[in-house]
Amino acid sequence: MPRTAQAQYDATTKLGAGDPVEPGDLVFFGEGPSDIAHVGIALGNGEMVDAPDSGADVREEPFPATTGAPWGADVYVGTTMIF
């Protein structure tokens, strides 16, 4: 798996907007598909594992269910699966 969020998005299989998000899927945020700034790991029920910033605690938090919905200063770009 590549190190950066953008490289991970580029290297993984994208799910369609209507596909269910499963635990273990990667959820991506940024300004769009070519400007990914952050990645989380889906847990199910609209929750993800998030490591927000260097030095901040890893936490469980919600993410939007709709592609393009705002998430902080970014938007939810989409979901990918590793395999």
pTM here?
0.93
> pLDDT value at position 17?
83
Task: Go through the chain and tell me how many residues it has.
Answer: 83
CB atoms within 10 A of CB 39: 21
CA–CA separation, 28 and 48 (whole Å): 11
Please state which of the four CATH numbers 3.90.1720.10, 3.30.530.20, 2.60.200.20, 3.40.50.360 is assigned to the domain occupying 5-81: 3.90.1720.10
Per-residue pLDDT of the chain (83 residues; tens, 9 = 90+): 899 999 999 999 999 988 999 999 999 999 999 999 999 999 999 999 999 888 889 999 999 989 999 999 999 999 999 87
